[in-house]
C-alpha cells in the first residue's frame, strides 16, 4: 500500500476528526459525524499499522482517535476541581448532616467528664483511691504542664495529630458496631474528668482550663464529629428506611468516610494549636481566644457552606459514576 496516496485520499477525514475531537462543544449532527469518522479512521489506522506500525502518521492518528474516544466516554474532572468540590461542597455537607448528633455527643461527653471531675474533686475518699497526695501534687504542678512542653513543638504537634486522627478514623470506621463510639466517648470523658478532678481538689481549675481550652475546644469537637459519623452509620443499619440495609450502610459509609478524611485537616490545625499555642508564653486569654476562633471557623464553615450544599441535595456521597450500581444489573 502506498502510504502517501492513502494519506492524500483520506487526509480530509483525518483533519475533520482532529477538529471535531478538539472542539469545545458539538452539535448533535457533529457528534454523529464524529462517531462515523471515528469508526472509519480506526479502520484506516489498522491498515497503516499493518504496513508501517511505528510511523509518525500512525502515532498522529492514534492520538486523534484517543481524543475522540474521550469525547464519547467522557473524561474525569480535573484533580484541582475534585479537590475544590471536596472542600467546598462534599465535606461541609457531610459535617452539616451530623451537626446535631455532634452536639449530642459533646453533651454526653461533658456530662460524664463533669460527673467524674465533681466526684474526684469533692470526695476525699475518691481522690485517695486515684492517687496519693504527693502524686496528685506532682501531676498538678509538674506532669500535666510538662506534657505540653517536654518535646519540641513540631514533633509534639505531629504526634498529637496522628494519634487523634487515628482515634477519629476508628470512631467512623467501627461506628457500625454500635458499641465502639460510646466506648471511645466514655473512656476519653473519664480520662479528662479524672484530670479535671485532681485540679478541682487542689483548687487549680484555672490552670487546667488554661491548658485544655486553647486546643481542646477544636480537638474534642473533632472527636465528637467522628463519633457522630460512626453513630450515623450504625443507625443506617438499624433503621435503613426504604433502602435495603446493605444499601443504607453503603450510602452512609461513603458519605461519612468523607468526615474521617476532613478531620485529618481539622486535627492538623488542632495539633498545631496544641503544639505551638498551648505551651506558649501568650496570655491565657489570648490562647483561649485563638482556640475559640478555630472552633468558630469550623462551625461557620459547616453551617454556611454545609447548609448551602445540604439544601442543594448534597450528602457527601460519591457521584453516581464513582459510587457504582446500587443493585445487580445487566
Domain ranges of the chain: 3-73, 80-323
The pLDDT value given to residue 253 = 79
Please identify which residue in the block is written with the cell numbers 475531537: 21
Between vectors from CA 131 to CA 126 and to CA 135, what angle results, nearest 5°? 145
Instruction: State pTM to two decimals.
Output: 0.73
The pLDDT value given to residue 261 = 85
Q: How far apart are CA 122 and CA 204, in angstroms?
A: 13
The pLDDT value given to residue 74 = 58
What number of CA atoms fall less than 13 Å from residue 93's CA on the CB side?
A: 21
Q: How far apart are CA 303 and CA 285, in angstroms?
A: 26
Between vectors from CA 71 to CA 8 and to CA 318, what angle results, nearest 5°? 165
The pLDDT value given to residue 329 = 46
Helix/strand/coil percentages in the chain, nearest 5: 80, 0, 20
The pLDDT value given to residue 83 = 79
Select from 208, 205, 217 the least CA-distant residue to 289.
217
Distances (CA, A) of 104 to 107, 110, 144: 5, 10, 28
CB-based contacts of 302, cutoff 8 Å, min separation 6? 92, 95, 96, 99
pLDDT in tens, the chain (330 residues): 677 777 787 888 888 888 888 877 888 888 888 888 888 888 888 887 777 766 777 778 788 888 887 776 655 556 677 778 888 888 999 999 999 999 999 999 999 999 999 999 999 998 888 888 889 889 888 888 888 877 777 777 788 888 888 888 888 888 888 889 999 999 999 999 999 999 999 999 999 999 999 999 999 999 999 999 999 989 888 888 887 888 778 778 777 788 888 888 898 998 899 889 988 889 999 999 999 999 999 999 999 999 998 888 887 665 554 444 455 444
Q: How far apart are CA 113 and CA 99, in angstroms?
A: 21
Q: How far apart are CA 25 and CA 110, in angstroms?
A: 57
**89 φ/ψ angles, rounded to the nearest 5 degrees:** -120, -60
The pLDDT value given to residue 1 = 63
Cα Rg, the chain, nearest whole Å:
30
Select from 248, 220, 228 the least CA-distant residue to 236.
248
CB-based contacts of 250, cutoff 8 Å, min separation 6? 326
Amino acid at each position: 500500500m502506498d502510504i502517501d496516496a492513502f494519506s492524500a485520499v483520506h487526509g480530509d477525514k483525518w483533519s475533520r476528526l482532529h477538529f471535531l475531537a478538539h472542539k469545545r462543544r458539538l452539535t448533535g449532527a457533529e457528534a454523529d459525524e464524529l462517531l462515523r469518522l471515528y469508526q472509519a479512521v480506526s479502520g484506516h489506522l489498522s491498515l497503516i499499522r499493518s504496513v508501517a506500525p511505528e510511523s509518525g502518521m500512525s502515532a498522529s492518528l492514534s492520538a486523534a482517535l484517543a481524543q475522540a474516544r474521550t469525547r464519547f466516554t467522557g473524561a474525569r474532572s480535573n484533580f484541582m476541581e475534585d479537590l475544590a468540590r471536596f472542600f467546598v461542597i462534599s465535606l461541609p455537607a457531610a459535617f452539616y448532616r451530623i451537626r446535631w448528633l455532634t452536639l449530642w455527643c459533646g453533651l454526653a461527653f461533658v456530662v460524664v467528664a463533669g460527673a467524674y471531675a465533681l466526684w474526684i474533686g469533692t470526695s476525699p475518699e475518691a481522690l485517695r483511691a486515684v492517687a496519693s497526695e504527693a502524686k496528685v501534687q506532682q501531676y498538678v504542678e509538674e506532669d500535666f504542664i510538662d506534657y505540653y512542653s517536654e518535646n519540641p513543638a513540631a514533633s509534639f504537634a505531629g504526634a498529637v495529630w496522628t494519634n487523634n486522627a487515628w482515634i477519629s478514623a476508628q470512631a467512623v470506621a467501627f461506628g457500625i458496631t454500635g458499641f465502639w463510639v460510646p466506648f471511645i466517648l466514655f473512656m476519653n470523658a473519664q480520662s479528662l474528668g479524672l484530670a479535671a478532678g485532681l485540679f478541682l481538689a487542689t483548687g487549680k481549675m484555672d490552670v487546667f482550663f488554661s491548658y485544655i481550652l486553647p486546643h481542646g475546644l477544636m480537638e474534642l469537637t473533632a472527636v465528637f464529629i467522628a463519633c457522630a459519623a460512626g453513630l450515623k452509620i450504625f443507625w443506617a443499619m438499624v433503621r435503613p428506611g426504604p433502602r435495603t440495609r446493605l444499601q443504607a450502610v453503603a450510602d452512609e459509609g461513603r458519605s461519612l468516610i468523607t468526615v474521617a478524611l476532613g478531620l485529618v485537616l481539622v486535627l492538623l490545625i488542632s495539633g498545631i494549636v496544641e503544639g505551638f499555642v498551648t505551651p506558649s508564653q501568650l496570655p491565657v486569654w489570648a490562647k483561649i481566644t485563638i482556640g475559640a476562633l478555630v472552633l468558630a471557623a469550623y462551625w461557620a464553615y459547616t453551617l454556611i457552606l454545609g447548609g448551602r450544599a445540604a439544601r442543594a441535595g448534597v450528602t457527601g456521597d460519591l457521584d453516581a459514576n464513582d459510587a457504582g450500581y446500587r443493585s445487580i444489573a445487566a
